[in-house]
Structure 1
Amino acid sequence: MRRVLGVLAVISVLLGACVAWGAEEPIRIGYLATLTGEGSTWGQHEQDGAVMAVEEINAAGGLLGRKVELVIYDVKGRAEDAINAARRLVTQDKVVAIGGTNYSSLNIAARPIIQEAQVPMIGSATTNPVVTVNPDTNEPWPYSFRICFTDPYQGLVMASYLYQKLGLKTAAIIGDVGSDYSEGMKQYFIETFEKLGGTVAGSWGFRGGDVDFRAQLTEVKAKAPQALAMPYFYKEMALTIKQAAELDFHPVFIGGDGYSPNMYEIAGDAMEGSWWVSHFDYDDPVLQPVLEKYRKRYGKEATEIGNVVFAYDIIYWIADAIQRAGKAEGPAVRDALESTKDLKLTHFTLTLDPKTHNPLNKPAAILQFRKGKPVYVETWQPQVTF
C-alpha cells in the first residue's frame, strides 16, 4: 500500500512557519483515491483537489485552532486495497473522517471498517444506493455519506432524456455484469424507459477488464435500436463507441458519470454527438475559481474537473462539520454531517437528506460531445410521475 505523504509533509512545514499552532495533535482527515491502475486519472485529480482544500484551510488558521493533516492512500481501484487502507486510517492514523472513494463497490467494501470505528466516510462519485442506505431496512448506514446523486437517478435521467427530450422510442443497453454501479444504473434505465412507453431491444453484458465488445455490438446492431445506453466506465465506453463505428453501427450513445473527456484519445470522432449525464457543467462560472487555483497550484489544466471539485468540496464539507461539531471526534462529526443544511460549496448548495444521506434535489447536467469536446446543453430534472 503506497502512502502518499511526501508533498504534504513539506506543506505542513511551510504553513507551520506562518501559523501559530497550538500544542494539540493535528486533526487528521483521510482520503482514499485510485492513484494507480484502472481509473487513476480520476483518483489523481481527487488527490489534487483534496490537497488544495487542506492547504487553504491551514493557511486560514486550520480547524478549532489545530492544523489539518491529510492522509492519502492509493486504493488502486480494488476492494481489498480499500479495506486495508480504511483499516489503517482508523486504527493507525486516527482520522476523524474520510473522503473518497469514487467507486461504489470500494465504499461498500470499506463500510464495515468505518462503521465499527465510528468514522464517517463521504464518497465522491459513489452512486450506488447501497453505499448509504441499508437495503434490508431502508435506513441509512450511520457513517456512510455521499456528495453525488445516485445510480437510480442517473438511470432515470438517461432513460427520460432519450424518450422525453430526444424522442427516441427504442434502446439497447450494455452493462458490466460484475459492477454494482453498472448493474444498478442498468436496472433503473430499463424500468424507466419501458414505463415511459419505450422498447428496450435487449440487454448485453461483459466483465470488467474486457476490451473487445464486437460480439455484443454485432448482436445489438441486428436489433437496430435508435439508442445505446452504456452504464459503465470511460475506458470500456470509449472502446464500445470506437468498435461500433468500426462495425458501421451509429446509434445515439448515452452514458453516465463514468464518462471522461479523456475518452476522445481512444474513440476519436466516433464520439461526436454522444450524450452524457454529468454531475457538472464543466464551463459553469462557479467552478472557475477552483480551476484557476488548480492551474496555479499544479501548473496544468485539470482534465477531470468533476473529481477535483468533488474532493475539494468534500474536504470543505468535513471542515464545516468539524467546526459545527466543536470537536474532532468521529461520532460528533457524523452528527454534524447528517444535519448539514444550506452549505454553500463550490458546485452546489448542500442540504443533506438524513433519511438517505444523499444530497437533496441535486440536478444533473446534460453534456453532448461536439467538435472534440464535451459541451453543456442543459440541466435536466426528469418529469416522471410513476
Structure 2
Amino acid sequence: MHRRTLLCATLSGVASLGALALTGCGPQKPFQLGFIGGLSDRNSDNGQSGLNGVILAVEEFNRAGGAGGRMVELIQRDDAQNAGTAAKSARELVEAKAEAVIGPFTSGMAKVIVPITGAAGIFQVSPTITSMDFYGKDDNLFRINRTTRDNASDYAKVMLGRGQKAIAVAYDTRNRNFTESWLKEFRTAVTATGQKLAAEVPYESAADADFAGVVGKMLASQPDSLFFVSGALDVARLAQQARKQAPSLPIGASEWAATEQLIELGGQVVEGLLIVQNFDRDDTTPRFKEFSEAYFKRFQRKPGYSSVSAYDAATVVLTALKNRKSGESMKDAALRSGPYPGLQQTITFDANGDTPRKVFFTEIRDGRYVRI
C-alpha cells in the first residue's frame, strides 16, 4: 500500500484523534499535464485528433493507478494556429505549473511556444513537428516525429521512381517554419537526384485564398507533377483546382495533410494523391488493434497519424512521470526511462530528444490510404 494511503488508513482507525486527525488525508492533488495544439484553426483536425490520443492515454493511466496512486489532470489549451493565441496559451500552462506539455502539432506554433515553456524549464514532447529548427538541440523539447530532411529526401526518391522530374510546389506561409524548412530540404534532395522544382508558389491559408490562382501559377511552369506543402483542408481545395485545370497531372502532398479529413473533404479529387504516413494504418498486431478499438469506442472515429503520435508522446511523458525520482527533472527521467514501447515502433531518444521513425508511402485509392 502507498505510504500516504497507509498513514490515512491508520489515522482513520484511531477514534480518539477525532475528525481533525484526517485533515490532509483526502485524495492527493493530481499532477497537471498540459496539452497545446490547434483546436479551432483551419487545420484543427490535426490538433483535435492529437488531443483525443492524449485523453485516451491519460484515462488509461489513471485507471491503472496513476503515478504512485496520484492521478493526472489534463489542461487543454488551443493555439489556434495564431502566434498571439499560442503565446497566451503557453503562458497559461506555465502559470498552471504543468509538469510537462504535450504539443504543439505544427512547427510554426512551436517557434512561438517552445521559447516560453523552455524558459520556464517545462519538459515538452511534440508528437508531430518536423522542422530542422528543432533538430539537434539540447533543450527541454523532445520530438516523436522524424525531420523535414528525412521526409523530403524520401519523397524525392519516390517521385523520381515515378518519373516525376519537374515538380511544381505550392506551400502555405501560415505555417512557414515547417513549410519553408520542408521546401528547402526538398529542393536540396531533388537537385541531388537530377530533378528540379519547376515552380515554388507561396500562399497564405485563408477561407478566401485564391486556390485557382495558386494552381494556375504552378501550371505556368509546365511541370510534370504538382505537390502541396499544406494542411488537409487546403490540399483538398488545391487538388480540386488541379483536377479542373490539369486533370492528368500526378498530385502529392506532404505529411502535414495526412489526416482523415483529407479524404472526407477531398473525395474524388484526391484519388491517386501520393502522401506519406508515419504509422501503418493496416497494422493487425494485437496492441494496435486494441488501441484502435478503444479509440473508436471513446471518440466514434478511427485514429489518424496525430492520434497515434500523440498517444506515443503521452506514453513517454506518463512513463517518465511515474519513474521520476525525488529531485529529478522530467527531462532526465525521460532520458533514463527509455526506450519506450510505442504503438507500432520502439521510441528511442538521443541526448537531444530526437528520434528516428519509420514511415509508409501511400496513395489514396477508393477513399482510403493504401500502402505502395
Scaled by the length of structure 1, the TM-score of the pair is 0.83
Partner of 2:38: 34
Q: Is the 8 A contact 1:125 1:147 kept in 2?
A: yes
Q: Is the 8 A contact 1:340 1:352 kept in 2?
A: no
Correspondent of 1:229 among 227, 230, 243: 227
1:75 Cα deviation (Å)?
2.1
Partner of 2:15: none
Matches of 1:177 and 1:141, distance apart in 2: 27
Matches of 1:207 and 1:289, distance apart in 2: 40
Correspondent of 2:354 among 348, 358, 382: 358
Partner of 1:6: none
Any gaps of 5 or more consecutive residues in structure 2? 1-24
Q: Is the 8 A contact 2:271 2:367 kept in 1?
A: yes
Equivalent runs, 1:280-299 vs 2, <5 Å: 280-286=279-285, 287-298=288-299
Equivalent runs, 1:1-386 vs 2, <5 Å: 24-91=28-95, 93-130=96-133, 132-133=134-135, 140-163=137-160, 165-178=161-174, 179-209=176-206, 211-259=209-257, 260-286=259-285, 287-298=288-299, 300-302=300-302, 304-327=303-326, 332-339=329-336, 341-355=338-352, 357-360=353-356, 362-377=357-372
1:99 Cα deviation (Å)?
0.3
Matches of 1:159 and 1:49, distance apart in 2: 31
Q: Deviations over 1:325-356 (max 9, x none)?
A: 224x7x6111122345331111310111224x
Q: Is the 8 A contact 1:22 1:65 kept in 2?
A: no
1:124 Cα deviation (Å)?
1.5
Change (3 A) 1:48 1:216: closer
Q: Is the 8 A contact 1:124 1:147 kept in 2?
A: yes
Computed over aligned residues only, the root mean square deviation of the Cα atoms, in angstroms, reads 2.0
Matches of 1:31 and 1:51, distance apart in 2: 10
Matches of 1:67 and 1:37, distance apart in 2: 31
Matches of 2:247 and 2:222, distance apart in 1: 9
What one-letter code is carried by the residue in structure 1 that aligns with 2:79?
V
The structure 1 segments of at least 4 consecutive aligned residues displaced by more than 6 Å after TM superposition are none
Matches of 2:244 and 2:163, distance apart in 1: 26
Aligned residues: 343
Scaled by the length of structure 2, the TM-score of the pair is 0.86
Matches of 1:217 and 1:39, distance apart in 2: 20
Change (3 A) 1:248 1:43: same
1:38 Cα deviation (Å)?
1.6
Partner of 2:19: none
Bigger shift: 218-227 or 233-242?
218-227
Q: Is the 8 A contact 2:323 2:337 kept in 1?
A: no
Matches of 1:36 and 1:363, distance apart in 2: 30
What percentage of residue pairs aligned between the two structures are identical?
A: 24
Change (3 A) 1:376 1:37: same
Matches of 1:220 and 1:37, distance apart in 2: 26
